[in-house]
Amino acid sequence: MKKIPLILMGCGGVGRQLLQHIVSCRSLHAKQGVRLRVVGVCDSNSLIVASDVINGEVDDVGLTQVCKAKSNGASLATVSSHAMSGQEVTSKIIEVVSLLGNSTGLAVVDCSASSETAGILSQVVDFGCCVVLANKKPLTASLEVYDKLVSLPRRIRHESTVGAGLPVIAALNRIISSGDPVHRIVGSLSGTLGYVMSELQTGKPFSKVVTVAKSLGYTEPDPRDDLGGMDVARKALILARLLGHRLTLDSLKIESLYPVEMRPSVMPIEDFLVNGLPQLDADIQDRITKASSKGNVLRYVCLIEKTRCEVGIQELPKDSPLGRLRGSDNLLEIYSRCYNEQPLVIQGAGAGNDTTAAGVLADILDIQDLFP
């Protein structure tokens, strides 16, 4: 039985779901000849670690306890029964990494949403251990950090950073390794903005569509977190860097669907929803009408092409895969030598803890050949 030792950073949302998947897949993975050995689980202020990190594990009873505490909104410290500083958590993780990097190997799985994990992950790479990410922030940090993380390209997986479990990164890596040059990527990578843009086509005003999306729970509590485009921009940057573009988040052209004078620090959310949003209706309606007269529709997409990497509204043919997209699915069109006139299209749910955690789990299983 092959054992994959792993440490999980971040055990809310996706991380908790991952632990549940790991426990419920025990017999499936045993049939595949693999066991995921959870050596440690941490959040920002606590760490649970196996007493014997070389051979032992946090057992399924312990993992289930973590899941239960986290689903009740409690901190990991309530399970571990002692709180730690971030620095203490980091030191302890690095201690385990240095031990296992020299023996059985280790996968460090980042399911947090923190920008503070890049430092640990860089050290993980230095020790020759593997990195699996659902967290977009380490991959969208400076190019120096990025280059370090991908310096052992077989030892990093990050499918769930773009389109949740959709096999977007896997597909691109296959295309790249087979020497098929990617000319163009266009993708709707926000379920929220996908829903908004396709609803606009039915003639409803922008303010109304956003308000309904918020009431359906499709948006963040403050919809400006979606409308600003930063989440899509991080995904675009990850894809662009995968294709070899030397870009940073600062250098991306990102279109926000609200103007700076309506930004959260200036306009309270209630004011934005009641008075701000309706002011945006006419302009968007105008753009829709113009696009429609040319047989096009508007989509909020990432567009990567030659030296271009943009995030914002694009006019796209009504009859293209993106033009036909309805609802909250993500959709990516990839154009290359092999997929020239008609793109390779990947479409499906691009969010949700279950799907995102399933993508992380598939990544972990996919690096099994690197373990003894």
Nearer to a second copy, 135 or 328 (CB): 328
Cα of first residue to Cα of last residue in the chain, in angstroms, is 10
- The one-letter code for the residue type at 301 is V
CA 307 to chain centre: 23
CA 170 to chain centre: 14
Q: Indicate which single residue of 68, 174, 263, 308 sits in contact with a second copy (rule: CB under 8 A).
A: 174
- At residue 1, the 3 state secondary structure works out as coil
Site for a second copy, residues 132 to 171, rule: CB under 8 A: 153-154, 159, 165-167, 170-171
**319: exposed, middle or buried (C-beta count within 10 Å: 0-12, 13-18, 19+)?**
exposed
Residue of the chain from 87, 202, 369, 372 that contacts a second copy (CB under 8 A)? 369
Query: Quick check: 243 binds a second copy (CB under 8 A)?
Result: no
Binding residue ranges for L-homoserine: 220
Site string for a second copy, 325-354 (x = CB under 8 A): --x-x-------xxx--xxxxxxxx--x-x
Of the candidate residues 10, 101, 276, 359, the single one contacting a second copy (CB under 8 A): 359
Q: Is 324 in the site for a second copy (CB under 8 A)?
A: yes
For the annotated binding site for NADP(+), the residues are: 10-15
Instruction: Tell which positions 3-42 bind a second copy, by CB under 8 A.
Output: 21, 24-25, 28-29, 32
Angle between helices 353-366 and 13-24 (to 10 degrees): 60
SS3 label, residue 102: coil
- Please identify, using beta-carbon distances, which residue of 30 and 282 lies nearer to a second copy: 30
- Does residue 306 have an active-site annotation? no
Catalytic residue among 70, 235, 253, 294: 235
- The three-point CA angle 337-338-342 to 5° equals 100
Q: Which residues are annotated as a binding site?
A: 10-15, 136, 220
Burial class of residue 211 (count of CB atoms within 10 Å of its CB; 0-12, 13-18, 19+):
middle
SS3 state at 193: helix
Site residues, a second copy (CB under 8 A): 21, 24-25, 28-29, 32, 153-154, 159, 165-167, 170-171, 173-175, 177-180, 321, 324, 327, 329, 337-339, 342-349, 352, 354-355, 358-359, 361-362, 365-370
